[in-house]
């Protein structure tokens, strides 16, 4: 088999066999297939797509590239969730303690920020001492004892995805349904989940910009989950603007704390409750979604679930004083107001540009090894549908950088001001079961 022939085959839109997909994944992981040939193949996949069986074969090949975590010592149905990536997406921070509080074992495998999207591991590391490199034994112990654990992906888990993902990030080949589906599902399955809730983001801050694409991605992932006997539900949620008001790391932790105390923004609370409810149903705590939603909403409104988050911070080595006093989280030196030059309504937000601005402020990485400034971020003072006058603050930049003109201009131009009031948007677009 020659890689060049397989690139040509995909370029012509033909289907790769299981043996060919295995050859590619094994060859690239071992270093026999160079980056330039893999890049060409990834681009061909982006342009020509993959059939259902090919995508499933790619998922298996990725899983087989590394270890699978054996979590059979954990009692009960282990649930995990995965977001396809967004801006201001701090849903996992809320979901873990909330679902664990009704007795469902939550084993959350998370990643770091990538490109314009944030990562849960980075957000949690804004809490001093919070440890995310847990061993298998620590995960099992914490989940059996407290029903929750959150860990970063270990080096041995899906090495092929790690290598391919890094290449996709720099070759404009991320936004492909089969590539995202195989990447997400291989990680969830190798990490030992019995049931998976997928948060498929759609809109200007997501990799999937249209509902049609998001639906296709959601269905593809649900099909893969089912074919591997994992209970899988995909919820398509809105990402046409950042979720909640805070984008960054420390400030996103603060906002998640507000939700856990029953005083968070409506969009974030609704999405977190929806994802949590499906997780709780798949885990067997409730018979139906509506019952679960109502109960979990009550738990949030009681403000008590904050104690479960405190416990999570404690068992993973973090300083839990930040829960009662979020002012102890890293704070930026400067808070720069971005004022509107126009009057009207916020009609749309270029959310990807917001994500890039935050990354440039230091909250994300330009390069893999960059250090993060946990205090850097934005507060989206105005969101879609809000009325603005000339001179109104639409956004606040939190930064340690002295010169912020570029970020200020970038954020201002990400806000599209229109004369007419936009129609209110749904937070949840569709659910695919
Ligand atoms: N998240 C992933 O884990 N993989 C992708 O390819 C895209 C988003």
Using CA atoms, how far apart are residues 349 and 117, in angstroms rounded to an integer?
15
What integer pLDDT is reported at residue 155 of this predicted model?
67
Domain with CATH 1.20.970.10 in the chain: 3-49
Q: Spell out the CATH class of 330-418.
A: alpha beta
Pairing assessment for the beta strands 106-110 and 148-152 based on DSSP bridges:
parallel
Burial of 282 (C-beta count, 10 Å sphere; 0-12/13-18/19+) = buried
Pick the CATH number of 3-49 from 3.40.50.720, 3.20.130.10, 1.10.8.80, 1.20.970.10: 1.20.970.10
What integer pLDDT is reported at residue 140 of this predicted model?
94
pLDDT in tens, 229-265: 999 999 999 999 999 999 999 999 999 999 999 999 9
Using CA atoms, how far apart are residues 164 and 101, in angstroms rounded to an integer?
36
Domain with CATH 3.40.1030.10 in the chain: 79-324
Q: Is 161 a catalytic residue?
A: yes
Both structure tokens of 45: 């996949």
pLDDT in tens, 176-204: 999 999 999 999 999 889 999 999 999 99
What integer pLDDT is reported at residue 365 of this predicted model?
83
What integer pLDDT is reported at residue 252 of this predicted model?
98
Domain with CATH 3.90.1170.30 in the chain: 330-418
Cα torsion angle, 186, 191, 196, 198, sign: negative
Below-70 pLDDT ranges, the chain: 155, 368
Atom of ligand 1 nearest to the CA of 187: 3
The values of phi and psi at residue 158, to 5°, are 45, 60
* Ligand 1 center–CA 32 separation, angstroms: 24
Atom of ligand 1 nearest to the CA of 179: 6
Looking at domain 79-324, its CATH architecture is: 3-Layer(aba) Sandwich (3.40)
Indicate which residue's Cα is closest to atom 6 of ligand 1.
Answer: 180
Task: Tell me the pLDDT of the chain averaged across its residues.
Answer: 95
């Amino acid at each position: 088999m020659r890689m060049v022939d397989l690139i040509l085959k995909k370029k012509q839109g033909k289907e790769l066999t299981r043996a060919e997909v295995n050859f590619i994944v094994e060859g690239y992981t071992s270093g026999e297939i160079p980056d330039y040939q893999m890049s060409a193949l990834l681009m061909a996949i982006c342009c020509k797509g993959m059939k259902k069986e090919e995508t499933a074969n790619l998922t298996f090949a990725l899983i087989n590239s590394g270890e699978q975590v054996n979590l059979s010592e954990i009692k009960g149905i282990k649930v995990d969730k995965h977001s396809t990536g967004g801006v201001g997406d701090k849903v996992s921070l809320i979901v873990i303690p909330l679902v664990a509080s009704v007795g469902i074992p939550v084993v959350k495998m998370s990643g770091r920020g990538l490109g314009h999207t944030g990562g849960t591991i980075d957000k949690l590391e804004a809490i001093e001492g919070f440890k995310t490199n847990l061993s298998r034994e620590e995960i099992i112990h914490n989940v059996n004892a407290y029903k929750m654990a959150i860990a970063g992906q270990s080096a041995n888990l899906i090495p092929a995805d790690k290598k391919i993902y890094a290449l996709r990030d720099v070759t404009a080949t991320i936004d492909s349904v089969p590539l995202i589906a195989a990447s997400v599902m291989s990680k969830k399955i190798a990490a030992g989940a019995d049931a998976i809730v997928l948060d498929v983001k759609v809109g200007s801050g997501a990799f999937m910009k249209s509902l049609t694409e998001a639906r296709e991605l959601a269905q593809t992932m649900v099909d893969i989950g089912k074919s591997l006997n994992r209970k899988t539900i995909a919820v398509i949620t809105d990402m046409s603007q950042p979720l909640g008001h805070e984008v960054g790391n420390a400030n996103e932790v603060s906002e998640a704390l507000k939700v856990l105390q029953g005083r968070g923004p409506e969009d974030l609370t609704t999405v977190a409750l929806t994802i949590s409810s499906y997780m709780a149903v798949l885990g067997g705590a409730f018979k139906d979604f509506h019952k679960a939603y109502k109960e979990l909403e009550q738990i949030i409104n009681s403000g008590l679930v904050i104690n479960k988050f405190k416990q999570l911070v404690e068992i993973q080595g973090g300083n839990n004083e930040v829960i009662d006093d979020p002012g102890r989280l890293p704070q930026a030196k400067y808070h720069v107001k971005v004022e509107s030059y126009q009057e009207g309504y916020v009609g749309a937000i270029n959310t990807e540009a917001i994500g890039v601005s935050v990354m440039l402020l230091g909250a994300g990485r330009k390069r893999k090894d960059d250090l993060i400034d946990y205090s850097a971020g934005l507060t989206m003072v105005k969101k879609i549908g809000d009325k603005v006058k000339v001179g109104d603050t639409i956004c606040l930049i939190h930064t340690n950088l002295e010169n912020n003109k570029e970020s200020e201009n970038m954020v201002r131009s990400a806000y599209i001001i229109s004369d007419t009031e936009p129609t209110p948007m749904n937070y949840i677009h569709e659910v695919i079961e």
